[in-house]
Every structure is written in structure tokens, then in C-alpha cells.
Structure 1
Amino acid sequence: MMKILEKNMVKISLLIIAVVGFSVLFLTYNTYGNLEFALSFRGKKFIAFILVGVATTFATITFQTITNNHFLTPSILGFDSLYILIQTLLFFFFGIQVSSVLHHTIPLFLLNVFLMVVLSGFLYFFLLKKGNRELYLLLMVGMILGTLFSSISTFLQVILDPNEYDKLQGKLFASFSNIDISLIGIGFILSCLAIIYLWLSAPTLDVLHLGRDQATSLGVNVRNFQIKLLLVVSLLVALSTALAGPVTFLGFIVVNLTYQWMGTYKHRYLFVAGSLISVLLLVSGQFFVEQVFKWNTTMSVVIEFVGGVYFVGKILHERKRAH
């Protein structure tokens, strides 16, 4: 037991060293003698990396424990499509000028979060009534709603003014460069509340990971616990999506790498290691994209491409192992 604990601490320590190293590189490399300006400009991105990375990690690990499936992420419930629909409706009804003014305001940010959490809460209370079958029904309904939201968004985008459509497209891709610093404070507070709840619930999550029947026999009210967890997951996903936009594959990449790296199902170790890996991938990826390769693209495009390849590769690997 002591050796396992020491081994886990060593792995986490290595991750901390890597995160600190790349963070210093990202914040100070190629400042051209203007360190203060570089820190103010890159510091906003760095804070966004931490908020989005940690929120996504906690949400995805918890969601995969609830569903007992390492291929699923909270985006399957249609959060990305709902976010895109909200932005499309904003441009459709209010136009470029009004929507541009409202886009980075706290009320709109809270509206995005509120709608996502309320919709998901509505689904949870009405679909998670008896057992595990309702969980799969919830996932199917989430996928159907995601398709519905996406179809409505596409229809509205087709009849938008070309200038408004062009402006809208810039809002629909995840961006860590255009985050409004005024949203960081409230996003940090809400994220901390959700993260603290999941951290305190980690021992019960360890029990839930054994399976629904085992958790019930050990005294866990599985249905009520699942609803609470899903609401917290919805809040974290809504916060990260409303802050930076949809990043579908980030959670999938990070969490699966975390399981492989740590080799444990203790949720507190997974939460810490996963958060560090998430921040490391975002910071190092942004550093290489901006400073090393000097690509004229956003970090989200790289994440989606790598995540898609990794997802297909994992499916093929699992299929080969099953045979």
C-alpha cells in the first residue's frame, strides 16, 4: 500500500514539474524585452487553460464513472450543440451589433450556464427513475437533442445575413485568446464550488466505480447520487463551454491518458493527475503552436484533430483486444 502511494506521488510530482516548466516557457519565451505586456496577454490564456482544463477533467472523470464507460464524455448530452444554438439564436434575433455587445457580458454568460444546467436537470429528474436502463435512455435522449439543436442551428445559419454568419463562425470555435477577463472571477467561483463537491464525494465515487449493485449494497443511494453528480458535471461543462467554447475531445484525451498514467481508480489521484495533464497539454500545445511551429491555427483545431485520431485508435485497440 505504501509503495503504491509513493508511486502515485512520484507520478504526480513529475506532472507538477512538467506543468511548471512549460508554464514558465509559455509565459516568458520570446517576450522581446517586454515581459510585462507578454505576461498580461498570455496570462489571460493561462488562467483560461487552468479553469477549462480542471473543470473538463473533473466533469469527464465523474461522467465516465457514472456511465462506467471510458469512451463517453459529457458532450454526448448535447451541451456543445446547445451552446451553438444559443449563439446562433442571439445573432439571428439581435444581429451583429447587439450580439457582439452582449456576447462577453456576465448576464449572457450566466444565461448560457443556466440554460445548460436547467435542461440537463430536467432530463435527469424525469429519466433517471429506476435503474441503469434509464441512464442509457438519458444518453440516447441527449444525443437526439444534440442532433435537434444542431439541425435548428444549421437551418438558422443558412438564412442568416452573410456578414452575420461570418461573424457567428468566429464565436462557435473554442478560443482561449478572446476570453473576457471579467468572466474569469464568476467562472472561478462556480467552478470551485462544483470541484469541492466532487472532491468531497470522491470516496463515494470510488464505491460507485465498483458497480451500481455493489454501491447499493454498501449503502449508497445511487439514483440520488447520480442526479447530484450529473448536475455538478453539467455546471462544470456549461462553465467551460461558455468561457472558451466547445472543445469536444479534450476531456476524452485527458481522462484516458490519466487512467493509463496513474493505473488507479482512486478518484482523488485521478482528479489531481488529470487536471495537471489537462493544463500540461493545453499550455504545451499552445506553446508549440504559437512559438515553435508558428502555425496559423487555434489550439482547439489541434485538439479536435488529435482527439479524433486518438478516439478512432482507441476503438480499434479495444476491438483488437476483445478478439
Structure 2
Amino acid sequence: MTSAETFARVRRRENRVLALLALAAVATVVAFCLIALRGNWEYALTIRARKVAAMVVVGCAVAVSSVLFQTVTNNRVLTPGIMGFDSLFVLVQTLVVYFFGALALSSADPRLMFAGQVVAMVVFAGALYRWLFDRRSRDLYVLVLAGVVCGTLFSSLSSLAARLINPNDFVVLQDTLFANFNSVDRNLLAVSAALVAVVSLWMVRLFPRLDVLALGREHALNLGVDHRSVVNQVLVAVAVLVSVATALVGPITFLGLLVANLARQFAGVSRHRVVVPASALLAVVALVGGQLVLERVFALDTALSVIINFVGGIYFIALLIREAKR
């Protein structure tokens, strides 16, 4: 078999994988929208379509950011959540309740809260990147370790503040710390979709350089890729994507880890033109399918993030065991 035939065979397999994942995503969305549909169909479909749109936006943001972050760190068990974004979101929510009470949190303008949370997370990421990458030592792993330390600090401060607030306020606070797709503001959804689309398209043009970057820093430099420039662009994009997704619905810790690694396994390649859309489609299947199970099996008695984190946690342990055996 010639190299051209081998290349064509690989391309057909990649296209087949993407087509199957797209079909699974469409089937999951249709099932979510039509199963147990009663009463006023137009009203019910409008509500469900808004949930689906929110899950698609969040799923794409988490999937793209996770794949990109794993590429620049050259580590498949890391996700942007390790940088402390989720912990910062929890800290902001907790401090609002601590200083102003649960009523202020529940009655606050969702657009103001969304903007404040996004700005806080992006500013945190920007300050961290600038502080570390302006130094002589530009080790990316120092950035990751600094993110872990900051995340631990944010979690400790959140725990301290949570112990000092009123127990009734704490109950209200707990409900806001889990991902919730049932009360997404329509205007915020449109803004989030636009931001995710713009940042994702910005990253598409970097796919060839990211494929080279995945070979390692030294190989990328030898092949003419400006490593620092590409990494800086990716880190900014990751900060925006994670901030938007987290501020819109709340943190989903293990979703990115789950879909990014499954996409590479299903695709059988590491090219970003395949892995990124595959991970986004898997994220849609996971979120929409999880919400369907949540509503029809658990009757909304738990949060979707609990289901995702449970499955993702098991997968994370399996990844660690597999890596340890290599």
C-alpha cells in the first residue's frame, strides 16, 4: 500500500469517526427534545432548545479549552480546571453571600454576575500569565504549579467564608456551586455563544502549529514554530473559554478530561482538526445525555455535574493507572 493510499484510508477513518459522533450528538439532542413531550409543544420545545443550546456552548468551550491546554502542557491528565478557575468561581459566589447575603446572590442581575465572574477569572489568568512569562524562566509547568497553589488558596478562603455564613445562606450558596442548565439567561447565552465561536475560530488557524507543538517544545522550535507566541495565544483562549463556560452555568470539573481523551481514543490520531471537533461532539453527547438521564431517571434529584464528575473521576483514575504501567 502506497503512502497516498494510507493517507486516504486514514482520512476516511477520521471522517467516519466524526460522522458517527455527529450522528450520536444529533440523536441525543432529538431524544432530549422529544422524549416525554407533553402539553404545549411550542413552549416545551422552546425551553428544551434553550437548555440544549446552553449545553452545546458549554460543551464546545470546555472541550476546545481542554484539548488546547493538554497540547501546550504536553500532558493528557491535566485540564484548565487545575489552574484554579473553578475555585475562583466558588470563591466569588461565596464572598457575595458572605458580605451581602443569599438574597443578594439570588436577586442580583445575572448579566452583572456573569460579567463580574468572567472579568475576575480572565484578569486572574492574565495576571498569572504575565507575572510568570515576563520572567527569564518561562517554564510552563511553573505556571501550572502556580495555578494549583492559587486554586488551593481560593478553595481554602471559600471554605473559611462558608463556615462563617448563616446556615440558611449556605444552603442557597450550595445550589449555585453546581452546574445548572435549567435557568440560563437567553441574552447571556447569546453573548457566550458569540465569544466561544470567535475564540474557537481564532484557534482553528493555529491547528497546524498546534500539531507541531504537540511533538514537544524542542521539536517545535526546530521546525520553526514560535513556541512562546503560540502558547501565549492558547493560554489566553483557554482563559476566555473556561471563564465563559464556568460563569454561564457553573463548574464541571472532569468533563474536559473525559471528552478530550476519549476523542483521541476514538479518532486514533492526535491531529487537532479531528480531535477538537470530536471532543466537542462528545461533550454535547455527555451533557445532553447526562441531562436526559438526570431528568428522566433521577427526576432532578441531583446535579448534572455530579454525574459527569462521577464518571470522569473513574476515568481519571483509570488514566493514572494506565500511565503508571507504561
Q: What TM-score does the superposition give when structure 2 sets the normalisation length? A: 0.94
Secondary structure (helix, strand or coil) at the match of 2:246 reads helix
Aligned pair partner of 1:32 in 30, 38, 42: 38
The residue that corresponds to 1:5 in the other structure is 11
Relative to structure 2, which stretch is displaced further, 126-135 or 17-26? 126-135
Q: State how far apart, in whole Å, the 1-side matches of 2:123 and 2:226 are.
A: 23
- 1:61 and 2:40 correspond: no
Q: State how far apart, in whole Å, the 2-side matches of 1:31 and 1:173 are.
A: 26
Q: In the superposition, relative to structure 1, how do residues 274 and 131 fare at CA in structure 2: closer, same or farther (>3 Å)?
A: farther
The residue that corresponds to 2:76 in the other structure is 70
The residue that corresponds to 2:264 in the other structure is 259
Q: State how far apart, in whole Å, the 2-side matches of 1:159 and 1:57 are.
A: 36
The residue that corresponds to 1:197 in the other structure is 202
Relative to structure 2, which stretch is displaced further, 147-156 or 291-300? 291-300
- 1:92 and 2:89 correspond: no
Amino acid at match of 2:45: L
Relative to structure 2, which stretch is displaced further, 124-133 or 308-317? 124-133
Relative to structure 2, which stretch is displaced further, 311-320 or 265-274? 311-320
Q: Deviations over 1:2-35 (max 9, x none)?
A: 1111111111111111111111111011112432
- 1:291 and 2:292 correspond: no
Secondary structure (helix, strand or coil) at the match of 1:308 reads helix
Q: In the superposition, relative to structure 1, how do residues 186 and 295 fare at CA in structure 2: closer, same or farther (>3 Å)?
A: closer
CA contact (8 A) 1:28 1:35 kept: no
The residue that corresponds to 2:127 in the other structure is 122
Secondary structure (helix, strand or coil) at the match of 1:30 reads coil
Relative to structure 2, which stretch is displaced further, 56-65 or 204-213? 204-213
Relative to structure 2, which stretch is displaced further, 89-98 or 298-307? 89-98
Alignment of 1:170-189 (within 5 A): 170-189=175-194
Q: In the TM superposition, what is the alpha-carbon distance from 1:37 to its structure 2 partner?
A: 2.4
CA contact (8 A) 1:130 1:223 kept: no
- The alignment-based identity, stated in percent, is 40
Amino acid at match of 1:89: L
The residue that corresponds to 2:280 in the other structure is 275
Unmatched runs of 5 consecutive residues or more in structure 1 = none
CA contact (8 A) 2:132 2:138 kept: no
CA contact (8 A) 1:57 1:251 kept: yes
Q: In the TM superposition, what is the alpha-carbon distance from 1:105 to its structure 2 partner?
A: 2.2
Secondary structure (helix, strand or coil) at the match of 1:5 reads helix
Alignment of 1:229-268 (within 5 A): 229-268=234-273
Aligned pair partner of 2:171 in 155, 160, 166: 166
The residue that corresponds to 1:138 in the other structure is 143
Secondary structure (helix, strand or coil) at the match of 1:174 reads coil
Aligned pair partner of 1:226 in 228, 231, 234: 231
Q: State how far apart, in whole Å, the 2-side matches of 1:149 and 1:29 are.
A: 41
Q: Deviations over 1:173-198 (max 9, x none)?
A: 11111222221011111111111111
CA contact (8 A) 1:125 1:227 kept: no
Q: In the TM superposition, what is the alpha-carbon distance from 1:284 to its structure 2 partner?
A: 1.6
Q: In the TM superposition, what is the alpha-carbon distance from 1:249 to its structure 2 partner?
A: 0.1
Relative to structure 2, which stretch is displaced further, 269-278 or 292-301? 292-301
Q: State how far apart, in whole Å, the 2-side matches of 1:291 and 1:196 are.
A: 35
Q: Deviations over 1:210-243 (max 9, x none)?
A: 1111111222221122112101101000000001
Q: In the superposition, relative to structure 1, how do residues 131 and 254 fare at CA in structure 2: closer, same or farther (>3 Å)?
A: farther
Secondary structure (helix, strand or coil) at the match of 1:85 reads helix
- 1:306 and 2:311 correspond: yes
Aligned pair partner of 2:221 in 199, 202, 216: 216
Relative to structure 2, which stretch is displaced further, 20-29 or 119-128? 119-128
- 1:49 and 2:61 correspond: no
Q: State how far apart, in whole Å, the 2-side matches of 1:59 and 1:20 are.
A: 22
Superposed CA RMSD in Å reads 1.6
Q: What TM-score does the superposition give when structure 1 sets the normalisation length? A: 0.95
Q: State how far apart, in whole Å, the 2-side matches of 1:128 and 1:220 are.
A: 18
Number of residue pairs matched?
320
